[in-house]
Chain A
Amino acid sequence: MEHSTKDHAALAQDFNKDEDRVDWHDETLWFIRQKRDKAAHQIPEWEALREAASQIKNNVLSNLYDYLLQFEKNAIANGIEVHWAADADEHNQIVHRLINEANVVRMVKSKSMLTEECGLNEYLAKHGIEVIDSDLGERIVQLAEEPPSHIVLPCIHKKKEEIGEIFHQHLGIDAGISDPQFLTETARQHLREIFLTRKVALTGVNFAVAETGEFVVCTNEGNADMGAHLADVHIASMGIEKLIPERKHLGVFLRLLTRSATGQPITTYSSHFKKPREGKKIHIILVDNGRTVQLGRKDFRNSLKCIRCAACMNTCPVYRRSGGHSYHTAIAGPIGSILAPNLDMEKYADLPFASTLCGSCSNVCPVKIDIHEQLYKWRQVLVKNGYAPAAKKAGMQVMTWTLSSPGLYHTAGKVGRWVIKYAPFAVNNKLNPWYKQRDMPASPEWSFSEWYKQNRQQ
């Protein structure tokens, strides 16, 4: 998947060139955060549920080895074929092989952020396999040849007029249509034909149950089911951390997931796949792709508890005002910023700094990942590994000397105040990023310490 070589700050700056659009994007996602709040407040035991979900996931991570074996054994006993992929490439190769074995060159796919992470669509396209994304938002960005910007609402960055134009270009409707009802109906008709003719369907996995060897796929549109139940071969791609111990734990997660994601009490469909249809196949691919490395990082392993609800994105004031694409990675926002550096510290060194550490994300996370604390910790790791720009390093060293010495500190303060008062042009200029859109603070007569010395010290 092609991503820009610009960093988050630069991409966010580009995004902010159109202030009206930023307001629209921000208000849309804030609206979803409010719906989430409303739903959460209807459950008096909401905080206890979060705590339970958090503890269940802590248990899963601490016992993942046994749960993986248990799941594999039970899935196989159910007639599901289990595959293991160490990395993205291997995942893609397995999917390709399964498609070849089915003697087809086309596949329909429902939402799977894991496949986004692995670059599956691009890989298959290179090998002559056509993949149609069936989730409405995903289909739209697929036609627009863009990556999704949000893990639950893939085209939240697109206006309905733009979607109408995309459908006019690719699906043959008249120009100038923007009615969501009409556009959805268009997609329904277009994709119905796809569902009815594809022999291989790929879905993601929201939860896999070790106890029973079944897995659950949640959608509002019904597209995962339309694809899977009409295909001969159902491939399910799953990150190894998506396991839960027992079926009854689904009660906790299904109560939290959609309320956190969109404010709905549950998705329209929560489909439990246990056995393949008579004579048909279900394959599940268990993917590592860096997850075992993250599992070994004491400070960051809790990021693997994520159930991909995107509540953190909806609440993040920075995400809302910079858009998913400014994170230049499959999974954006706060959770993306603590997952991505594990995959490539150099490429994603900017992400943990794309935050004010306000802490709102950690509060909305249904599994209580300490996201904002991990962002802080990643900053220390990245700097220690040499991923701070040289200028910043130098500036920080100067700051350290100044602030560790009372004498230097007071001198520097005096100088700063003098400059602002008597030589404002030295700081009120283009070289000072603060000054671009903000006035500098006024220069007071004296500092507090000077005042205290003058007025209070005997």
Chain B
Amino acid sequence: MKVGLFVPCYVDQFYPDAAIATLRLLEKLGVDVGYPPKQTCCGQPMANSGFEHLAAGCNELFIKNFAEFDYIVAPSGSCVLHIRDHLHDDKNPKAAESISHKIYELTAFLTDVLKVKTLNARFPHRVGIHQSCHGQRGLHISSMTELVSPEFSKPESLLNMVQDIELIHLGRKDECCGFGGTFCVTEEAVSVKMGKDRVADHLAHGAEYITGVDMSCLMHMEGILNRQGSKVKVIHIAEILNAG
């Protein structure tokens, strides 16, 4: 099985450690990982802003880069959801569809495909899990508090395999952080207020680190934490699962 590593554009540029940890983690678990160097972006920023019709270039590039792999794995729920739901190419419909079915967010890949049961990792800290919306409600990587259905969480199950980690409870388990793509600047006031409230919830329950599957949410919360002068850090889940 050959896995193509898809690194979201902002992770590539601003949070390479999350991608490095993803790569190392997959390799540790015996996966043959390829990284197409000409990849750029999934096209979500344009599509979510109503400019879906401008994403053709990104779509074509994505298909060109990733069509050959058995699986595509990314350290991001929202990018994976976007590809799953919105990747299409009129010139290459079958390739697009095939990619939609074989692209996975990291924790979903570890749980559903690799069926990881143990991890050789240690992270002796109090950690709060931020349930990024697109991964949760879009990809079903965990249950949702709105629904009457059994509770589960792929990220949480994986984190529970990490030695000495202490997962905190939250007041609102799966409320949105307010990043929302271009929303973070077009509706700046509400976006920041949502982020502040999420951060406050984690702080109130003693988090040292806030983690999640999406660096975009974490970047937004980090910006707020740093502005507040807080010592609390954000960290992508791949880095915790690969720690120690």
Contacts and interface: CB of A to CB of B under 8 A. Distances in A.
A and B touch in the complex (CB under 8 A): yes
A417 B190 contact: no
Interface string A163-195: 000000000000000000000000000000000
A163 to B, nearest CB: 25
Interface stretch (A144-152, A281-289, A380-388): A380-388
Given A363-B137, A403-B9, A404-B58, A13 B188 contact: yes
A322 interface: yes
A353 B187 contact: yes
Contacts of A388: 49-51
Given A403-B58, A448-B12, A358 B176 contact: yes
B133 interface: yes
A437 B188 contact: yes
Interface string A345-375: 0000000011111111011100000000000
B48 A440 contact: no
Given A317-B194, A396-B54, A404-B57, A358 B187 contact: no
A441 B46 CA distance: 21
A51 B183 CA distance: 31
Contacts of B219: 441
B130 to A, nearest CB: 12
Interface stretch (B88-96, B104-112, B205-213, B221-229): B221-229
A199 to B, nearest CB: 45
A367 to B, nearest CB: 14
Contact of A16 (B12, B13, B189): B189
A131 to B, nearest CB: 34
A9 B16 CA distance: 33
Interface stretch (B115-123, B141-149, B162-170): B141-149
A251 interface: no
Given A363-B144, A441-B14, A396 B190 contact: no
A128 interface: no
Interface in B66-109: none
A12 B148 contact: no
Contacts of A436: 188, 192
A437 B224 contact: yes
Contacts of B187: 8-9, 12, 318, 353-354
A356 B183 contact: yes
Contacts of B153: none
Nearest to A384: B53
Nearest to A453: B37
A77 B53 CA distance: 53
A360 B176 CA distance: 9
A379 B181 CA distance: 13
Contacts of A358: 133, 137, 176, 180
B61 A321 contact: no
Interface residues of B, number: 74
A47 B149 contact: yes
Contacts of A397: 54
Given A355-B183, A358-B133, A433-B185, A439 B146 contact: no
B43 interface: yes
A317 B186 CA distance: 16
Contacts, number: 209
Interface string B52-67: 1111011011000000
A396 B49 contact: yes
A444 B15 contact: yes
A403 B57 contact: yes
A9 B186 contact: yes
A447 B190 contact: no
Instruction: Give chain A's interface secondary structure class.
Output: helix
A273 to B, nearest CB: 33
B53 A380 contact: yes
A419 B41 CA distance: 21
A54 interface: no
Interface in B195-244: 195-197, 219-220, 222-224, 226-227
A47 B194 contact: no
A341 to B, nearest CB: 12
Contact of B220 (A43, A315, A380, A438): A438
Contacts of B14: 417, 441-444
A451 B146 CA distance: 41
A16 B146 contact: no
Contacts of B188: 9, 13, 433-434, 436-437
Nearest to A389: B186
Contact of A447 (B12, B41, B144, B194): B12
Contacts of A426: none
B160 interface: no
A46 interface: yes
B45 A399 contact: yes
A12 B190 contact: yes
Given A353-B49, A358-B137, A450-B16, 5 more contacts: A37-B145, A400-B58, A403-B41, A404-B61, A438-B192
16 contacts: A12-B190, A19-B193, A360-B137, A393-B51, A400-B46, A403-B57, A406-B40, A409-B40, A413-B12, A437-B188, A437-B196, A441-B223, A444-B15, A447-B13, A448-B11, A448-B20
The 4 closest A-B pairs by CB, nearest first: A404-B57, A356-B180, A438-B223, A383-B50
Interface of A: 8-9, 12-13, 15-16, 19, 22, 26, 30, 37, 40-41, 43-44, 46-47, 315, 317-318, 321-322, 353-360, 362-364, 376, 379-384, 388, 392-393, 396-397, 399-401, 403-406, 409, 413, 416-417, 433-434, 436-444, 446-453, 456-457
